[in-house]
Amino acid sequence: QVQLVESGGGLVQPGGSLRLSCAASGSISSINAMGWYRQAPGKQRELVARFTRGGSTSYAESVKGRFTINMDNAKNTVYLQMNSLKPEDTAVYYCNADGAYTNNYRRWNLWGQGTQVTVSS
């Protein structure tokens, strides 16, 4: 089965940087898109950044110019470089991937377990 493993979360001071990674493994034929969403306490889950096969990217307005998403297709891994972090960036960040199984090429969509990002002095 396909599994997503997230890493890179933690505690950082305002203005600091973190780099999140999410690696997909298992019976993967292809990945159509991978991205990051976040959910702060009492708020809805929102798109942070998404990378679609072919190089198309989407960013939340609040992170444009500060965050950068990129993907290593050979490793089925997506990265989120987060710079100039603010306290309002504090949230659980969830990886999401959309792809197809090796065996039957059927589509799947999977969420990671989430990684905590805390921005505080």
**How confident is the model over 21-37, as a mean pLDDT?**
95
Tell me the average pLDDT across 61-87: 96
Say whether pLDDT at 53 is over 90.
no
Query: What is the DSSP secondary structure assignment for residue 102, as one 8-state letter?
Result: T
8 Cβ neighbours under 8 A, 6+ residues apart: 18, 19, 20, 21, 80, 115
pLDDT confidence of residue 36: 98
Average pLDDT, the chain: 96
Q: Tell me: pLDDT of 106 over 90.
A: yes
pLDDT score of 23? 97
What is the structure's pLDDT at 13? 98
